[in-house]
A and B are shown apart, each in its own frame.
Chain A
């Protein structure tokens, strides 16, 4: 094996070969993605990712919006009617000591599929209890009496799909119209269906009205509302079972994955190469010790020890990184670097350096180590994916950093959330595609570099 060297060779090898160029291209796209992460999601992700209220206006388990592009009948997007979209008027009846507030919102529903959920949120202020009546008026004028309830100061979420009184309201309306109710009452379906006996529960498209009538004894009381008609598609990458926007998780996973993989790969490769060179150059006892320790390190059960540490100390992702590096300071590269350094040592220019009296340290650092650079670079590039997947594997075992949305964490959430067995493809395939693309990018660059490191493998 002859050892060619120099950073120019590395550069040439990557950019003059098809796989190398492909790898660089893919990597550029992924780095672009991590820059988008910082622009698109400027907030502190680790504090928001597990905050359920932050994601509450997203549909649950929705595939990405772009699938509508391939469908003839479009799936609905989420429609949010905010506080400002409600028409509002109030009056105070002095004699009765009662304040009346009426809120009304209009909603155009033109999709051919039903929404996945319907919720309203009532924000009540300054009230010692407020009696609220909720009404739903369909485009054909059918009025459904949804609920009459007492709400208190603060935020009151109303989940139409699970409320008993909403179901009763629907049944009463059907009884009034003389319609035989269907076997299962799904409020999110019936609210948007033609309930007339001749209607056949078909979807009714048009303008719906949602009306809130409130009564309270406190004069200064106010009420605001938000109506959320959850769609069936969301964003660029869909949502998970906790309604989180997977696109946010995936773009944030990119810098985390790359940083984790690169730092681990660079540190371990450099340390291993340095130790291998030391072993060859100083020889004797140093060589013996380094080689025996390497032999032992290579057989030690790395993952079980890592698991034991993570279970007992509950570490975050950067401590994990430090431990991974500490567990890999000796390894395969120590052996290869040693054998390469032994070859370089026999070359004439080293002999020349020795003869003009260069110190041993100087020769090693300035004359031997640079020659091992291409090998080290190839080693770094090829080991990045294994560290990215290592983080994912630990996440799958439940040992990842719970705060950070890494690719591994998303995939393991998907796996545990039953995405694989229920065919929730976007939850698995989108993060998987990214992790695979990253791995392949590094593998291709590594393949290109392999030809600098092992010239005998060059295709003839």
Chain B
């Protein structure tokens, strides 16, 4: 494990202020985008279609230049895990089923394409939308904010926790702990040196946050006002149309066109 891993993840998922189009898009439209991506990954199983979708999604990223960089950082951070899972799955399917290695590999490539599409959708949602916007989006469809905030805060803490893990990693290495050496089992055991302090520090942070929220009236009432209200504008309608058309086209194409890959 390298220090860059924590850096990559924490930077990729960090919200940044900007005037990009993606920041301006209504949170509901972005939530719809995530839902559609999840639906697609369950329905579509053809690699050619998934790859086309992946290209379309990547084009969407270019609307906010930093997102492309963030995506690369995210990939860099997740690559080892994806690789481990893929290799593990291929081995398991070769040992326990009678499919060929080519087929097993294809299955894995398809799931990577799905993961990447989903990663892009979530990345766009998390790094261009604020918790406040998401909470309001859910409130508009009748879900009480007290249920939504905890989830959003959990997501918001991911980059912060990774950043803290980086500092913990530094502190442990300063005590001579080497993460790159030794057998796999030893390396895994050494992770305790990072995970335990991370959990302790996270609990302390969560305790502070709960107190601070309580004292600022969180949960005072089931209702909540919003100081400005999110409204669908032309850009949102455009975004929704493009996204929906794209995903519907993908589903239709899956069933009527012949498979290339």
Whether A associates with B in a native complex is: no
